[in-house]
Amino acid sequence: MKNVRSIAQKVSIFTVLSLCLSQSALATSSASANANATAVITGSITLTKTADLQFGTAAPSDIALTVPATSGTARASFGVTGAASTAYTITLPASSINMTTGAGATADEQIVVDTWTSSPSATGTLSAGGTDTLYVGATRAAIRATQTSGAYSGVFTVTVAY
């Protein structure tokens, strides 16, 4: 009888353990969900020069001349095209440039241009049609009394970016 009782106790313990383990397995829970990965690719932005910056005709000893970006026909202008109704940033030259004539080797063959401005200033927004006009102005240094006569020119870079 002792063996039967011992076996019955072992079966009871095994049954209890089995129930506990199956209850524990039933108690775990998990869930899953899906999400989409999305991106919007805007069209590239372009900048096209439509007019050069013009300081006109000057004579020796003329004072410095500022061409404003906000008005006039002497300012440089650029067409900006890209994604409709999108804001863009404007980067003007960080330093001065030299307009030169001849070899441009001497101070009398160079004229400094600096103090760059733009309209719009710093940022612009493309129209619903994806276009805008950017104007650039600057200051030409005073003309030296010994300035070499001739046609002067220099290149400057303007950058726009989304």
pLDDT in tens, the chain (162 residues): 555 455 545 545 555 545 454 555 556 899 999 999 999 888 899 999 999 999 999 999 999 999 999 999 999 999 999 999 999 999 999 999 999 999 999 999 999 999 999 999 999 999 999 999 999 999 999 999 999 999 999 999 999 999
3-state SS class at 128: coil
This prediction has a pTM of 0.77
Which burial class, exposed, middle or buried, applies to 113 when counting CB atoms under 10 A from its CB (0-12, 13-18, 19+)?
buried
What beta strand segments (E) does the chain contain?
Answer: 46-51, 65-67, 76-81, 87-91, 97-100, 110-119, 123-125, 131-140, 159-161
Q: Report the sign of the C-alpha dihedral through residues 88, 125, 128, 138, in that order.
A: negative
Domains delineated in the chain: 46-161 (2.60.40)
Give the per-residue pLDDT at 11. Answer: 46
